[in-house]
Amino acid sequence: MCGIVGYTGQDEAKDILITGLKRLEYRGYDSAGVALECASPATPGAPASGVTLSVIRRVGKVAGLESELSAFGTPSTCGIGHTRWATHGRPSVANAHPHTSCNGRIAIVHNGIIENFTELRAELERRGHTFASETDTEVFAHLIEEAYEGRPADSATGEPARPGSHDLMTAVREACTQVVGAYGLAAVCADEPGVIAVARKDSPIVIGRGERGSYVASDVIALIDATRDVVVLEDGQFARLTPEGITYTDADGAEIEPAVTHIDWDIDMAEKGGYPDFMLKEIHEQPRVVRDTLVGRMVGGELDIDELGLTMEELNLIDRVYVIACGTSYHAGLIAKNLIEAWARIPCEVEAASEFRYRNPIITPSTLVVAVSQSGETADTLAAIRDARIKGAKVFGITNVVGSPVARESDGVIYTKANKEIAVASTKSFIGQVVSLTLLALLLAQVKGKLTTGQVRMLFRELGNTAEQIQWILDTQGEAIHEAALACKDAHSALFVGRGMGAAIAHEGALKLKEISYLHAEAYAAGEMKHGPIALIDQGFPVIAVATKSPVYDKTVSNLKECEARGAQIIVVATEGDEEIRAIADHVIYIPPVRDAFSAITATVPLQLLAREVAIMRGCDVDQPRNLAKSVTVE
């Protein structure tokens, strides 16, 4: 959550910071701000460095900050910026980053949570520091200030006076030793013009060196214009950026040589490419995601997942699978459960990572935990991975972000090849996750001897066909989806129903609708309707059903008849050619005939489009829905 960007070099910093913050806005958009180093007027009493920090902050999106900065004429070639998703403290100017020290000479931006901030703040206040915000972050500014300037003897505790280091990097390192929690941090100090000090623990930081300066950000997307070769800072590593270069150190201050990662995707891939919003662009990328996720997975007629990190013998011993994930990724897990149990005959449980981490699940060395996370940095999923590994499980990650914590902390990983997903609501990454989980299910089935090599090859081919099937939906179902959206846009609530795979798809459909249109939606197994939810239905109540041709098709249709009899307005995702469904459906959206096992990959697509249409009709921002952030690095 939250986005960090920093620049020191030869160019105007504010422009670089604003461009970077706009790209990072998907991480949070409650408030935004920058701290710029500016030459101070040559007046008596001006600081020795001749530099002061100008801190400009606004509530709301980066566009507001940009217009305020357009009137800011003082040149500056070094600064830091932040876009915030509120955790501690409501969205307000006072709580917006950057935060400053008491003397206003140090400013910091921070991502993460400081767990011991209450105690630290009380201590700092007792020592005379004045706080200007309700945030946990601000303690960092004061801790760095104390480490930089030094502090007098403490008569209350008997601690002797401590001299200041008068070195920003050393002061940041020292402050980090006092903090419990997660941080990605960038700090500037008016007494060291041109220097940005950076620290990382459990919150992503990338650093790059361009031709005209040095850059830091919480995501590579903010610095890709300047360089393709970046350093992904590891936990416990620090960096000191200057206009001339970058030095990296460990926690003891010893210089280190970090690994450089080359980024091979293009910024165009992360921009709208002619679509009105990122969500629509990303929905349209899904055929490519299917193809890319499958590339190289069938080699010489054999399924190839060599980054698994487990031998075939170890895989064969697996007798229980847990899929742990959150939100949309959790729904991908529901699909996987169906496939793993049907094909590999291994019991599979799907659990919200936030629940898994606080129970005592039954885990043995023959348990495989599959952690699914688009961002690869969801706090609950990471905590669940760590817990599972301590308990002896093998952990396999499925993520979209190369080198992310989920990738690094798992025994093996499949990358979903969705490329950067910008819209806050997941679409293409979900499809990549389902395809990857399908591959895993096929592999487990093959290793366990439940599917023959021939069957695996045939299923793999059919899996690949879903790319064209998605394309067909995108090309032909727009009008039907639009009509269905008109039918439910003014509703107060909607029910999504289905059976088997259809029930899992319904869950994802309901989440998409509620998160971007703010229309309340619930998903139910269609057969469960008569045990309660059917009481909701009155004249015109929207029921959105997944009733594709499958072994439970007839049962689903019976449940829909029960809804129809009570006046529901029925929208059905059905299989092309199914004309009988029109007898009970007010609106039908078709998908091409598909094996039930693969139906999630195609039937989810109309529901994504439906959610988007409804949201637009209701005047919502589909890319940046309220209260949400793309990556959830807090519990």
Nearest CB to ligand F6R, comparing residues 168 and 622: 622
Q: Which is nearer to ligand F6R, 69 or 505 (CB)?
A: 505
CB of 401 to ligand F6R, least distance (A): 8
Number of other CB atoms surrounding residue 258 within 10 Å: 15
Nearest approach in angstroms of CB 515 to ligand F6R is 6
The alpha helices in 182-326, defined as continuous H runs, are 278-284, 286-294, 312-316
CB of 544 to ligand F6R, least distance (A): 17
Neighbours of 357 (CB within 10 A): 21
Token pair in block for residue 129: 């520091």
DSSP 8-state code for residue 344:
I
**Residue 608 CB burial class (10 angstroms; 0-12, 13-18, ≥19):** buried
**In the structure encoding, which two tokens stand for residue 350, read together?**
């799907």
User: Distance (Å, rounded) from C-alpha 442 to C-alpha 595?
Assistant: 15
Closest CB to ligand F6R among residues 206, 534: 206
Q: What residues are annotated to the active site?
A: 2, 630
Q: How far is the CB of 631 from ligand F6R (least distance, A)?
A: 6
Beta strands 367-373 and 394-399 are parallel
Q: How far is the CB of 353 from ligand F6R (least distance, A)?
A: 8
Q: Which residue, judged by CB position, is nearest to ligand F6R in the bound state?
A: 327
The nearest distance, CB 404 to ligand F6R, in angstroms, is 9
How do 213-217 and 229-232 pair as beta strands?
unpaired
Q: Which of residues 6 and 625 has its CB atom nearest to ligand F6R in the complex?
A: 625
Q: How far apart are CA 19 and CA 222, in angstroms?
A: 7
Q: Give 137 or 329: the residue with its C-beta nearer to ligand F6R.
A: 329
What does each C-alpha distance from 464 to 44, 442, 549, 602, 607 come to in angstroms? 73, 13, 19, 12, 21
- State the minimum distance, in angstroms, from the CB of residue 472 to ligand F6R: 24
What is the 8-class DSSP label of residue 551?
T
Tell me whether residue 9 or residue 432 sits nearer to ligand F6R (CB atom). Answer: 432
Amino acid at 561: K
Residue 227's Cβ-side half-sphere holds a number of Cα atoms within 13 Å equal to 20
Burial grade of 150 (CB within 10 A; 0-12, 13-18, 19 or more): middle
Q: CB 465 → ligand F6R: shortest distance, Å?
A: 26
Q: Going by C-beta distance under 8 Å and a sequence separation of 6 or more, which residues neighbour residue 299?
A: none
- Judged by beta carbon, residue 151 or residue 612, the one nearer ligand F6R is 612
Q: How far apart are the first and last CA of the chain?
A: 11
If the CB atoms of residues 426 and 599 are measured against ligand F6R, the closer one turns out to be: 426
Which 3 state secondary structure label does DSSP give 67?
helix
Cα torsion 267, 35, 122, 178: sign: positive
- Give, in order, the Cα–Cα distances in Å from 430 to each of 161, 373, 445, 565: 56, 9, 22, 35
Residues at the site binding ligand F6R, with contacts judged by CB under 6 A: 326-329, 373-375, 378, 381, 425-426, 511, 515, 631-632
